[in-house]
Amino acid sequence: MTRGWTPAQLVLRGTIVAGVMAALVATGLRGVWPAWWLIVLVGGLAVAFALVPEAPMGTVATGLVLAWWGLAFRDGPHPQALLAAAGLLVAHVAAVLAGYGPRELPLDRMTVRLWVVRGAVVFLAAPAVFAVASLLRGQPEPVGIWVAGLAAALVTTVAAGLVLTESSREP
């Protein structure tokens, strides 16, 4: 199955699986372990994600991890969330690198270095949000904060949808 793969590609695919699984089981560090069937399901999707990085399986696997994190804790953000964010981001960056070409494509050192730097910079958003959430923890929620959040999500969805639709329609 891995015939013709370069060693670097194998490492990338392994990183994808490891990143997603690490994000899933990171809740276990606080004693909340996911059910075995969820681990198997996400594991299968992660393997499919690693095999076909451009396919939507990666989105499904990541979405399941997010859902699990939303259901696992109800008492505010924990530091383990940073580990999960790092895992998901590492899996995503590895998938981006793997998606540049077929599985026989050797990795370009400059490209890897660029994306490692980008991943590190982008990851800073997670501790920043975590810090803000920790500061606001326990304080009364401003009126309409979640409505504003929902509106932001909707605006993002519509904007992204418009951009993607426009790019698909272009001759």
Partner 1 sequence: MTRWRPTGGLRRCLAVGVLGLALAVALGDAVLVVLTAPFLLLGALALMHRPASSPTVTARLDHQWMHEGQGTRSRLLVSDLDGVEHVTRMATPAPYVATHPAHGRLGRLVVGGSGLPVLEVSPRRWGRRILGHEDVALTSRWAGFRWGPVPLVGSQLQVLPVRAPYDSRAEAPQPLGLVGAHRSRRIGSGSEFSGIRPFQAGDRLRRINWRVSLRTRHLHVVTARAEEDTGVLLVVDALADHGRSGGMGGTASSLDVTVRAGAALAEHHVRRGDRVSLRVIGPKRISEVGFGTGERHLRSLLGRLSMVGPGESRTFGRARPTFGVTGGTVVIVLSPMLSDAVATATATLVRRGLPVVVIDTLPGGLSLQVAEGTDPRVAGLAWRMRLLERDQVLARLASLGCPVVAWRGPGTVDDVMRRLARRAQLPQVRVP
Record the tokens describing residue 118, joined without a space.
Answer: 């980008």
Binding site for partner 1 (CB under 8 A): 4, 23, 53-56, 58-59, 62-63, 65-67, 69-71, 73-74, 76-78, 81-82, 84-85, 88-89, 92, 95-96, 99-102, 104-108, 110-111, 114, 118, 122-123, 125-126, 128-130, 133, 136-137, 146, 149-150, 152-153, 156-157, 159-160, 163-164, 167-168, 170-171
| Cα-to-chain-centroid distance, residue 118 | 15
Closest to 84 in 3D by CA, of 110, 64, 102: 64
The alpha carbon of residue 51 and the mean position of all alpha carbons in its chain are separated, in whole angstroms, by 16
Q: Which residues of 43-57 are buried (b: 16+ CB within 10 A; e: fewer)?
A: eebbbbbbbebeeeb
Residue 4: CB minimum distance to partner 1, A = 8
Q: How far is the CB of 91 from partner 1 (least distance, A)?
A: 10
Contact, 109 vs 97, CB < 8 A?
Answer: no
Residue 8 or 39 with smaller CB distance to partner 1? 8
CB of 104 to partner 1, least distance (A): 5
Q: Compare residues 104 and 116 and give the one whose CB is closer to partner 1.
A: 104
Q: Provide the 8-state DSSP code for 143.
A: T
